[in-house]
Structure 1
Amino acid sequence: MQRPVTALQNRLLEALPAEDFARIAHHLVPVELERGRLLYEPGDNIDVVYFPHNGVISLMTLMENGAAIESTTIGPEGAMGLMSAVAPRQSLSRAIVQTPLRASRIAADRLHEAWEKSPALRSLVDRHTEALYGHAIQSVACNALHSVEARFCRWLLTCHDRISGDTVALTQEFLADMLGVQRTTVTAVARSLQDKGIIRYRRGVVDIVDRPGLLTLSCECYGVIRGNYQRLLGVSPGKNDLRAERRERFGSAG
């Protein structure tokens, strides 16, 4: 069965053998979702799985006082709600569209039917779960141990990998939630990066001017997370090969 072009833009769907992809192909529905669209709140039943083609979904951990921080992101390398293919699941996080999103969605019960019949899909779900878990625990360490500037650079690189173009449109409040800091801190860090010629920052918009510069200032977590996806799924969230980027930036020692 020939795959539709839209399906090939999600790397998990690309990884499925053609026969296994055919089990779900006619149940996949293309959608376009605006930035800020709420997909799930904690405790919601996950009845639809999203396979992003272009864009980012953020998983936010919420506190009783209303504070929130991003625990992980999902883009074209993954899927939102994939564990519901195994059994009914409830969301543990707030899932929100971080950038304008093109995706394919499928009813969880339809994906479960395919999961029961497809060893390849079962393996993919297991490996994706492990990669997402690794992403989350690396984010925990990063939020505790690394500077706001390094985390901001990591976040911009992660977002840049999952979108087309170099412009990220988001509000100062949204950025503050992503990083778990005050909006004044976001402004100070963004202005510092702009002064270094790495980004252009204006209200609600970040233009990435110097990606290698972001790579220099980012913490190690960016590479660790990318490496985990590559090792477990054979796919990388990145636009480019990270080792080649580092060699270009740092020379043979990078």
Structure 2
Amino acid sequence: MHSDERFRSTTNWLLLGLAGQELWHLWPRLRREHLPAKTYLERSGSLSSKVYFIESGVVSSLETGDVRDPIEVGVIGREGLIGTSAIADLIPQRDSLVQIEGQALVLDCVQLQKCLSASPGLRSFLSRYVQAQMVQISLAASAGVRANVQQRLARKLLMYHDRVGADDLPLTHENISLMLGVRRASVTNAVHNLEAECLIKAQRGLITIRDRAGLERYCGRFYGVAETRYAEIMSDTPRTACVE
């Protein structure tokens, strides 16, 4: 057990979902770090040195390969980790940018590889998370084609709300433009339309969720599928509340 009392519990769902033996391979190697907003945790084409089990805040997975401006293709918070490429000892193919500041439990990729070698159960569990992330990215692509801008914004706000756990989301129009891959004018129109429906309230640098159920209805089939599949994929291992 880590001697620091701060490391005895975590809000990260993956760590909570690990069985005791698999968690003990990781726990002594983890250290807690603050994640400032606008910090890159990974860059495409560069070998990662760390893996981040997110405890709070929100991180965007950004596709940068064939577009002028990056676009958010994945959202990671306390349900996941940054550094999935390290599970297969690969080089990241997307950027990971902190959108809302938070904290994470962190370990070196070399240490993760040692843990994976020592625990096939840990490798299997984290591989299931990789599958869950692939589902989210594929559904984001589907929403990008089939949903209108307001529905896409509603979907993203719900996903951020899930991860932050509070109605106030510190998001600017710049954040939202990156989330949706649209111009600022389109962001302004989408925000105003959701405000007109009394679903959100927008202030400078802040979006407040006023009616979550209404946002879900507005979003329709474009929200909920990835969340349900995450639960199905990751449900084989029971969660524990803390490490004693």
Contact 2:87–2:127 under 8 Å retained in 1: no
Q: Is residue 50 of structure 1 aligned with residue 52 of structure 2?
A: yes
Deviation of residue 99 (structure 1)? 0.7
Deviation of residue 8 (structure 1)? 2.9
Corresponding residue SS for 1:9? coil
Q: Is residue 198 of structure 1 aligned with residue 199 of structure 2?
A: yes
- Aligned partner of 2:242 in structure 1 is none
Give the TM-score of the pair, scaled to structure 1: 0.87
Deviation of residue 136 (structure 1)? 0.6
Contact 1:7–1:104 under 8 Å retained in 2: no
Structure-2 change in CA distance of 1:213 and 1:6 (3 Å) = farther
Which of 31, 34, 37 is residue 36 of structure 2 equivalent to? 34
Deviation of residue 60 (structure 1)? 0.7
Distance 2:84 2:63 in 1: 18
Corresponding residue SS for 1:98? strand
Distance 2:6 2:33 in 1: 14
Structure-2 change in CA distance of 1:130 and 1:177 (3 Å) = same
Corresponding residue SS for 1:193? helix
- Aligned partner of 1:185 in structure 2 is 186
- Aligned partner of 1:171 in structure 2 is 172
Corresponding residue SS for 2:174? helix
Deviation of residue 206 (structure 1)? 0.3
Give the TM-score of the pair, scaled to structure 2: 0.90
Contact 2:85–2:92 under 8 Å retained in 1: no
Distance 1:63 1:181 in 2: 17
- Aligned partner of 1:105 in structure 2 is 106
**Amino acid in structure 2 at the alignment position of 1:160:** H
Deviation of residue 121 (structure 1)? 0.6
Distance 1:6 1:132 in 2: 27
> How much identity, in percent, do the aligned residues show?
28
What is the aligned residue count? Answer: 234
**Amino acid in structure 2 at the alignment position of 1:53:** E
Contact 1:55–1:98 under 8 Å retained in 2: yes
**Amino acid in structure 1 at the alignment position of 2:130:** T
Contact 1:57–1:74 under 8 Å retained in 2: yes
- Aligned partner of 1:147 in structure 2 is 148
Contact 1:176–1:186 under 8 Å retained in 2: yes
- Aligned partner of 1:70 in structure 2 is 72
Distance 2:8 2:204 in 1: 32
Q: Which runs of 4+ in 1 moved over 2 A?
A: 1-8, 63-66
Which one has more relative contact order, counting CA pairs under 8 Å at least 6 apart?
2
Structure 2 unaligned regions, length at least 5: 237-244
Deviations 1:124-169 (A, max 9, x none): 1211111111111111111011111111001000000001321111
Contact 1:54–1:162 under 8 Å retained in 2: yes
CA RMSD of aligned residues (A): 1.8
Contact 2:42–2:94 under 8 Å retained in 1: yes
Deviation of residue 37 (structure 1)? 1.1
Structure 1 unaligned regions, length at least 5: 236-254
Corresponding residue SS for 2:153? helix
Deviations 1:1-35 (A, max 9, x none): 69966643101001111121111111111111121
Contact 2:174–2:184 under 8 Å retained in 1: yes
Corresponding residue SS for 2:223? helix
